Amino acid sequence: MYGKFKIKNQEVNVIIDIEASTNIITKILLQKLNTPIEKSSNKIFTSANEKDIIALEKVKLNLEIQEKKLSIKLQVIESKKEKVLIGMKWLKKVKAEINLENDTIKINQ
């Protein structure tokens, strides 16, 4: 599922992945948003195509969705694409209701 959220007043495309265990942002998008890295990371993820992906750093940002500003921690990965992926743990935290039939998300936090 895809959506559009705002980060630093810029609209970004977001992938909502209910099978993902973490949240990810690409380094190129983070640089475009002029956001500094907060901490190094040592996490390794396995992608859907069974390849290991090493997180470079981690960062905490505010997402704006449905007129709400919500904090999110993201792992930073290297990629040539500007991407944000939001996983199930954060969706549970914000009490998201996902309607797959209508492709909508409602944040209840």
pLDDT tens per residue, range 45-104:
777 777 878 788 999 999 988 888 999 999 999 889 999 999 999 999 999 888 888 888
Q: What pLDDT, on the 0 to 100 scale, is given for residue 71?
A: 93
DSSP, collapsed to helix, strand or coil, labels residue 48 as coil
Binned at pLDDT 50, 70 and 90, residue 15 comes out as very high
Confidence (pTM):
0.86
Structural contact between residues 94 and 16, judged by C-beta atoms closer than 8 angstroms: no
Asked if CATH classification 2.40.70.10 holds for the domain at 2-107, the reply, yes or no, is yes
